[in-house]
A and B are shown apart, each in its own frame.
Chain A
Amino acid sequence: MHKKTIHLTLNGEAREWSVYPNELLLNVLREQEYLTGTKYGCGIGECGACTLHLDGAPTLSCLTLAIACDGADILTIEGLARDGKLDATQQAFLEHSAFQCGFCTSDMIMMTRALLNENAQPSEAQVRDYLRGNLCRCTGYASIVRAALDAAALEKQRAEPSAAS
């Protein structure tokens, strides 16, 4: 097997990767970029722990070949906060303590971010449906759903600063 050079954008920065055709995006991120916020949980797309955004879409990086990401725009949990300010989803998860062990928190936040990108004001049922492929063993999802709904409200508030006063 030969390595191939690809170019992509990772958390807003240009990157050049040299990867084998069988290398998984998850492993390249964790082992070459040392971005360990994206997790291995099952390796076969059943738990959601490896979720990130690929060209804006929530994607399981354990099922994605790195070589297929030439020209892609990748966002991981490490790139979500901007200019030292937490994303509304992160802020809501923090305030609701919407985690226990925290191992699924990155993927739950990335999924919530993707949901809000598609639907700024989701219902509780829509939140539960959107997160159905992402497993959490600690929280029973209750605090995660509360945080996701609150993130939508927080984002709305941030977009309309006057409404906050």
Chain B
Amino acid sequence: MIQFDQPNIANLPELRQIGKPLPRIDAMGKVTGATQYAADYTMPNMLHAQVLRAKHASAQILRVDVSKARALPGVVAVLTADDLPGAQVATDIPGVTGTSKRAGTDAPILARDRVRFMGEALAIVAAEELAIAERALDLIEVDYEPYPAVFTPEEAMQPGAPIVTEPDNIVARWRIVKGDADAALRDADVIVERTYKTQFIDHAYLEPEAGIAWVDENGTLTIRVSTQVVEHFRSIAAALQLPQNKVHIMGTLVGGGFGGKEDITVELFIGLAALKTRRPVKMVYSREESILAHCKRHPFTITHKTGVTHSGRILASQVNLIADSGAYVYLSPYVLLYAASSAVGPYKVNHVTVNAYAVATNNTFTSAFRGFGAAQACVAYEQHMDEIAQALHLDPRQVRRVNYAQAGDTTPNGQAFRGAVWLEECAQRAWDALGETPPPSAPNIKIGRGLASYMQSYGRITWFHDTSQAWVGLEMDGSIVIRCGVPDIGGGQINTLAQISAEVLGVPLERVTVYSTDSALTPLAGTTTATRQMYMSGNATYQAAMAVRKTLAERASQHFECEPAEIDFADSAVFVKSDASQKMPLTQLIAMCAAEGLPRANLSLFKAPFTEKLDPDNAQGDIWPDYTFGAQAVQVAVDLETGEVRVLKSAACHDVGRALNPAAVAGQIEGGATQGLGYALMEDVQIVNGVTLTPSFAEYLLPTARDVPETKTIILESGTGLGPFGAKGIGEPALTPMAPAIANAVANAIGARVPQLPLTPERVLAAIDSAR
């Protein structure tokens, strides 16, 4: 059930297409199988690439002998580190100003003398057939010598630990200080201290990483690839020592991203092979390779020490966070910042100290994953709110109520919430939507309920100086063309732009075509990450469409002899608002403009707020443009005999500012909640002594259609977002509160807490036993 409430849209203009669940413009290709994903492309004379991956988590490489592989008929090239001296890939955030790449954060494209995680790339084979490339991998001889390894961040922080990343394995650190938490803790009636842990999880997009690269007739390395970031062309150029204008990324529709296709995947392997062989080279990861070798979500250990009054008011919080960054840095510093900054959640706390560390280990590297650290923080702070309530013998919802932030309150960094903060309303609506608690279906079943509130930023870090560009034009037949570099990863990114331009120019949605995701041919629009595309590229598209509309309205106003503000556009016609008989087809107006050389197109750049970097002493300062708020409530049944948890009902309520396409918004919320369910109950990339024990979907369990409960989705629209028409981002927020809501419901059912995700039957049974 999806419910829409619009309690505060009086300030929004009359809208004809925005706010309607229109079928998406990418629907026809997807329901007929015609949509081409990266692995669906082939080219004449194409080679197939495979990558040899390390079989040890930590070892020195004594010898790599590729002579037998090179001699295999059908093998065209075998590349090792010796063939690409110095080739490194930056793992810091690409394409930003305001931050400098830190020394020692690069990863080798192919390991040279040492491997740091199991699955690290050692060699590339390009062959006439895939089967030949696979056989060639088996013919490469590698001699390893085990090297001291470390597999937990806590051990890696100890003096004398094996060093994965110089100088001390600590790849990122944030310290946030607001007020005086030490002093304020002394005034508390009660201090509640608990530790919560989260696990490695895999993005498990159904489309494995894939791409095809070739060198075109101008010597440009062209890569058609499934990616969230076409602007990696710059770091690819740097790694391959090419001019930036000689690397061309053609993004495809992405078969799921969730942050896992934010970093470079196949691009450098196939790019190198194409440069070497001068033939097109294709590579598709196997599922096992995907699980072994792309980034994972950071596991966190988070300890909260909170001072509260007897009435539940939080006086002070000290929070320590330790994240496992795995073998390479990638986006760990920023994931850690998201976690640290949201460590106390959407609550007003005047005295906060946060100490956060990301630490290198010999585990698979970790990086972006929907929620990006803020989700892990929520797992901790929302369980902790329930623990505080239990310590005080208060209702958890009451403890939240007395602490919820209001508009104008500030984060631990001192950033103020400038828009609506509808935390209490979202929580109330979600909780009420659960309805009555049913009686247990059997004597061994216990029913529990849980709630989680959250805050999650949308838009990138403001000292990254984020911009997006879009080009909007009207064709002579009244159809709309949009050119925008946005990668569409399934969230409806392209459709959103189409719907915005259709609204502004009064053209039916199906008459909009979007050319997207091309680093050379479409205006650069930035990454499809950080819940930013609707906000950034949506605004760029809105600005461009409004500029076109302004020109057309001025010309029409001369024709109709009225003020431009009196002109409106709908149903491919232009008319005078106050006199509907004054009307002409849009094509007629376009022809008039064309005959006079008036522009019917506009390229617009949208610029997010820019800020300075944080104060290095206390991390005070603004970090994000804005936040989305909401709540998730669940009802669970726990089997006391088996420890199995079943989610019976799920109710989510989010203030999305404005739902540009309610069907797409509901899809984000329903899908995010289901990912959160997997995070809470079943998903776990088990890496033991550096070895991934869960390399397939037989071991790595995902929610199926049978695991998903009855779901209620309540969409509130405060109209206060920074996106077009007052919209806020919902991509990442949809996931964030689900896992802690389930953990709270389980604790409510069994009277004991399992402080470690996922809540497996074994852990739940152990908690039940310990509570007896």
| Secondary structure call for the B interface | loop
- Asked if B711 and A142 sit within 8 Å, CB to CB, the answer is yes
- Asked if B206 and A46 sit within 8 Å, CB to CB, the answer is no
Chain A contacts of B490 at CB under 8 A?
99-103, 138
Check: A94 CB closer than 8 A to any chain B CB.
yes
Check: B19 CB closer than 8 A to any chain A CB.
no
| Secondary structure call for the A interface | loop
Chain B contacts of A86 at CB under 8 A?
31-32
Stretch at the interface among B186-194, B573-581, B696-704: B696-704
Q: Within the assembled complex, what's the spacing in Å between the Cα atoms of A104 and B31? A: 10
Partner of B33, one of A76, A136, A143: A76
Check: A128 CB closer than 8 A to any chain B CB.
yes
Chain B contacts of A38 at CB under 8 A?
33
Cβ contacts A to B, 22 pairs, < 8 Å: A36-B33, A37-B32, A37-B33, A40-B284, A43-B287, A44-B696, A78-B34, A93-B30, A95-B23, A99-B30, A100-B667, A101-B256, A105-B33, A132-B706, A133-B704, A135-B204, A135-B697, A138-B256, A138-B671, A140-B673, A142-B674, A143-B666
Partner of A46, one of B491, B666, B696, B703: B696
Chain B contacts of A36 at CB under 8 A?
33, 36-37, 39-40
Partner of B23, one of A41, A94, A101: A94
Q: Within the assembled complex, what's the spacing in Å between the Cα atoms of A64 and B480? A: 45
Q: Which residues does B use to contact A, with CB under 8 Å?
A: 21, 23-24, 26-37, 39-40, 42, 203-208, 253-258, 284, 286-287, 489-492, 663-664, 666-667, 670-675, 696-698, 702-706, 708, 711
Partner of B697, one of A46, A139, A140: A46
- Asked if B208 and A40 sit within 8 Å, CB to CB, the answer is yes
Partner of B705, one of A94, A106, A132, A137: A132
Q: How far is the CB of A77 from chain B (nearest CB, A)?
A: 3
Chain B contacts of A61 at CB under 8 A?
none
With A100-B671, A140-B711 given, is the CB distance from A39 to B206 under 8 Å?
A: yes
- Asked if B31 and A100 sit within 8 Å, CB to CB, the answer is no
Given contacts A36-B39, A97-B667, 18 further A-B contacts (CB under 8 A): A36-B37, A36-B40, A37-B34, A38-B33, A41-B208, A80-B32, A81-B32, A94-B27, A101-B256, A106-B33, A127-B705, A137-B203, A140-B672, A140-B673, A140-B674, A141-B708, A142-B670, A142-B708
When C-beta atoms are compared, the residue in chain A nearest to B131 turns out to be A22
- Asked if B670 and A143 sit within 8 Å, CB to CB, the answer is yes
Q: How far is the CB of A100 from chain B (nearest CB, A)?
A: 4
Q: How far is the CB of B72 from chain A (nearest CB, A)?
A: 17
Cβ < 8 Å to B, chain A residues 145-162: 145
Check: A60 CB closer than 8 A to any chain B CB.
no
When C-beta atoms are compared, the residue in chain B nearest to A106 turns out to be B33
- Asked if B23 and A102 sit within 8 Å, CB to CB, the answer is no
Q: Within the assembled complex, what's the spacing in Å between the Cα atoms of A35 and B33? A: 9
With A42-B696, A42-B697, A132-B706 given, is the CB distance from A102 to B35 under 8 Å?
A: yes
Chain B contacts of A145 at CB under 8 A?
705
Q: Within the assembled complex, what's the spacing in Å between the Cα atoms of A81 and B489? A: 26
- Asked if A136 and B32 sit within 8 Å, CB to CB, the answer is no
Q: Within the assembled complex, what's the spacing in Å between the Cα atoms of A141 and B705? A: 6
- Asked if B37 and A103 sit within 8 Å, CB to CB, the answer is yes
- Asked if B205 and A100 sit within 8 Å, CB to CB, the answer is no
With A36-B36, A39-B207 given, is the CB distance from A101 to B254 under 8 Å?
A: yes
Partner of A101, one of B28, B34, B489: B489
When C-beta atoms are compared, the residue in chain B nearest to A93 turns out to be B31
Check: A131 CB closer than 8 A to any chain B CB.
yes
Q: Top 9 A-B pairs ranked by shortest CB distance?
A: A37-B33, A101-B490, A140-B674, A103-B255, A102-B30, A77-B33, A100-B490, A36-B40, A46-B697
When C-beta atoms are compared, the residue in chain B nearest to A49 turns out to be B206
- Asked if A77 and B32 sit within 8 Å, CB to CB, the answer is yes
Q: How far is the CB of A29 from chain B (nearest CB, A)?
A: 11
Chain B contacts of A129 at CB under 8 A?
705-706
